[in-house]
A and B are shown apart, each in its own frame.
Chain A
Amino acid sequence: MSAYAKTGVFLCKCGDKIAPFINLEQLEKSVGAEPDVAHCATMAFACLKPGLEQITQIAVDKQLNRVIVAGCENRLMLSKFEEHLRPLELLKGQIDMVNLRGHVATVSDLDAEQKATKSAKLIAAAVAEMTALRPSSLTRARLQGPVVIVGNGIASFSAAAEMARQKIDYRLAVESADPGLIIERIHETYPGEQSYHPRLQKSIQEALQSPHGKLLVGRKLAMLSGVTGDYTLTFSDDQGAHEKFTAGAIIACLDAQFTRPKPGFGHDGKTVMIPSEMESLILRSGPPKGTVVFWISDYENGQPEFAALSAKSAWQMAAHIRQTSPAATVIMLYNQQMEVPLTAAERAMNRKLNLLWIPYDGAMRPTVQDGFLTFCNLSDHVEHELRWNHLVLSPERMITGETLRVARILGLVHKEGRFLTGHHARVRPEMVGREETYLAGSARLPCSLADALAQGRRAAAKTAEMFRKANAGELFVPRIVCVVDPEKCIGCGQCQELCDCGGIGVEEGPGGGLPRIVDPMVCTGGGTCAAACPYHALVLQNNSNDQREARVAALARRLGPDESMAFVCGWGGLPAADIAGKQGLKYDPRIHLLSVPCVGQIDACAMARALKEGASGLVLVGCLPETCHHSYGLDHAWARVNTIKKLLSLSGFQRERIALAHADLNRPEDFVRTVDSFTRTIAAMGPMVRTPEDQAKVDALYDLIKHNTRVRHLLSAGLRRPGEDTYQGDQRHALDYDRDFSAVLAEEFLQQRLLQVFRAAKGPFNLDELTGRLHEDPNQVATCLWEMVQNGQIGFTHKNHEAVYALS
């Protein structure tokens, strides 16, 4: 039994859902006999109060520090067990579940004894993982320093005002601290909102005058380092002098720019203009006279999604013109595909002000002529003309210049695009997601002034909530996040490039080295980065590769020769399997499911381990392409699976022994087809032949993929980066790349096997002996040996005029 892990296993009868299908008596006996199991018990309903109280009691009595409940879906029930066992200091990661009901009991026609045997294997695997767990201690997150509001967007002021209201210290970095000037400039990014200005003024004043705030005027953000709770921001002034500030949190407020539309719309900035220019004109020389036509041209700009926004701001400007200049005629010309975004009260007002709304047929683009605009009327299909003195077009909106520069420093540019959208899906509700707490303003997505300010308030409120929690000692570092082992990290930067959540940063170390640090409050715990680390320096704590390998090995060793296993992804394969089980769908019982949060989290060495330890086949059931919740985990798994396929082929095994599959959780029937198809393939091939020589090849395969940094580096380098639109196999030079990679693998694999020979038996060996042992081409072996000598891995001497090789 393990020295420190005391694991208890609790088998749930689940009323009539498990007990009649699985011989629990037999199961309890066999699980109880596992050396690493401290206690095993069967209960009626583990999840109901009577069961929970019993588990708690046993855990106390037997001083358990690991608990496995073998019952139903961990996705639904695990948190309940975690909550109940937290008082015993059994934390997340120390409790696991095996879904006997959904993955064993109902899915096949095996008898109760056979199902007990299958269950025992799955439970033993879970026990092995628990035994390998090195739980981290629970740490509180600390936030030091004020909140720094950067980006110069108008939302800065509402964010700051909210901070002031919540009595949290903040630094406000703005271009100007003159409310008049700020408001004068606001029409450049939020035109048509004059009536809002008095209110905005109030908000600005609140932000500028609070005793909780300090201003950083006219300085530009130059650099950002550190992690949540402990940031360092470097600002530079006009003279280029740098100044550093620490921050507990950052709020980015960024506004998009309005740019002139494409040529062809006749934009000249004088009579044909965009709203910001019209507003400048009004501010400069009063409301225009004559006929003003607002053409809501967003459809023609290729941004139809903003038509309603443009229309609303144009309408406000139009109403202002009519109210202040009764002589003016104001017309709103809009694409008939758009719905007029006015409420009943606004319609009444519109009627009173006599603002005309004219729809046009979107199939025909209106044409701008001197003083006229032609458009096609939908009802009579006649080209009509509108006379104008001023024509106002919808602007094109995008982020450029300073906004874009700041966004880059803050790591907010996830994808090239017009706006700062496209963040990865959220995977953990308590996650301090960047998009949620961090960013406000129209640079995210165009919005009205009020909306931008609301976003600022929202960002500030969430940040304030985080501070409140931290100050109350209730903010904890998530348990399952990546940590860097500084001993192993060489600062190659692969992980940072692969990370989509922005959780990996750079730390300046002594001597110029750049070990990576992880911001645990931003890390989503996806672990695709850790699986890509060539040096195993990045570890997903409480869910590490060592644990996974232990689980895989324990299961693989227990599998029969015709049995195989599957990794099921927590977002695709696992829920599909859970639902299939719930619906009583049947599939081949020879498959054994291991759940994993994301298939991208599986290091290639864990895949190799399964084959090495006895599995005849391994399928990874991920989610659908482009739906990964993490950083393209599916694509990463694809690359790793293919590497293993090449190596299998080099070892003389069938490539089909490993496969990647996709499942949508809402299509459990498809999951069943996937599993059955894979098990058929494996059955057709029969068990893996495991003569000592074959086994040696699989062992070499595993060693190579686990330890060979060249191979691991190449593998990582080829993985899809966030922001890349192409799928791995989709690249322009895919075939060339693949051939090169295959060659490297062949070379390194041969070297690995040679090393295996040298390590296994005392040398030295000559070339003939080596080629004889490996059954490989002498020329290739000779080349390899020469490489290895050059690398210093082996040495050689001459014996009987013949070179002989041995470990150096």
Chain B
Amino acid sequence: MITFKINDQEVSARPGWTVLETAREHDIDIPTLCFHPAVSASGACRLCMVELREGSWSKLVASCIYPVAEGLQVFTETERVRNVRRWVFEMLLAACPASPEIARMAAKHGVTSTRFESHDPEQTCMVCGLCARVCEEVVGLSAIATVDRGVHKRVGAPFAKPTDVCVACGSCVTICPTGAMQSIFDSIRGVPATNLTQLG
């Protein structure tokens, strides 16, 4: 057993757990977006950042991947943590203006508006890569992946064409935290033979 503190509350954990897992087990809320228990953590969205302190020294780490250790002093709501969270939410609001899920999460953490202009009012995807990870790790296919890099990074199938590798299982749509995969999905599996929405 390992004991350490989160927000001055003593918690216990076993070797191999992460700070996030321990916090959740103890009902301490840390926001996450790119984390899903079905797949490996990537530590990309940085919403789960927490501050580690030791005397005057401190640093921010991603709790979803940070392993627990004896005597850690973890703080989940410090000024620095909130600054990162606030800016990430502000940027997400501008990057994915069409995602109600993101707006809901941001509002829950006190961010309701953004200083940034949106480049694409329809955008919902924030390229967390959960879809690609679930396809590789759970479905075992790797029909999609994140392609390109930096600001151009996006999710897609090779050569931006529907791919035979996709079995249209919809795991990516299910795991997507922002609902973005719903609009990308048809371009990956190819449009289904019949479109029933016309009947409705």
Contacts and interface: CB of A to CB of B under 8 A. Distances in A.
Interface size class of B (residues with CB under 8 A): 35 or more
- What is the predominant secondary structure among interface residues of chain A facing chain B? loop
Interface string B167-200: 1111101110001001001100000111111001
Given A624-B193, A670-B197, A48 B169 contact: no
Contacts of A673: 200
Contacts of B22: 50
A76 B172 CA distance: 9
A578 B175 CA distance: 10
Contacts of A583: 179
A471 B169 CA distance: 32
Contact of A670 (B36, B140, B171, B200): B200
A582 B174 CA distance: 8
B170 A579 contact: yes
Nearest to A53: B14
A627 B174 CA distance: 19
B108 to A, nearest CB: 10
A75 B171 contact: yes
A401 interface: no
Interface string B1-38: 00000000000011011100110110101000000111
Contacts of A427: 167
A627 B168 contact: yes
Contacts of A75: 169-171, 174
Given A76-B138, A79-B138, A624-B194, A571 B168 contact: yes
Interface stretch (A104-112, A659-667, A686-694): A659-667
Interface residues of A, number: 40
Contacts of B13: 50
A429 B22 CA distance: 34
Interface string A136-173: 00000000000000000000000000000000000000
Given A666-B185, A667-B197, A48 B170 contact: no
A426 B167 CA distance: 6
B77 to A, nearest CB: 17
A47 B192 CA distance: 33
B139 interface: yes
B83 to A, nearest CB: 25
Given A427-B167, A626-B193, A627-B192, A575 B21 contact: no
A803 interface: no
A61 interface: no
Nearest to B101: A583
A88 B138 CA distance: 21
Interface in A2-42: 15
B134 interface: yes
Interface of B: 13-14, 16-18, 21-22, 24-25, 27, 29, 36-38, 134, 138-141, 167-171, 173-175, 179, 182, 185-186, 192-197, 200
Given A627-B168, A662-B196, 6 more contacts: A45-B24, A47-B37, A76-B171, A579-B170, A667-B196, A670-B197
9 contacts: A45-B24, A49-B16, A75-B169, A427-B167, A624-B194, A627-B193, A664-B196, A665-B173, A670-B197
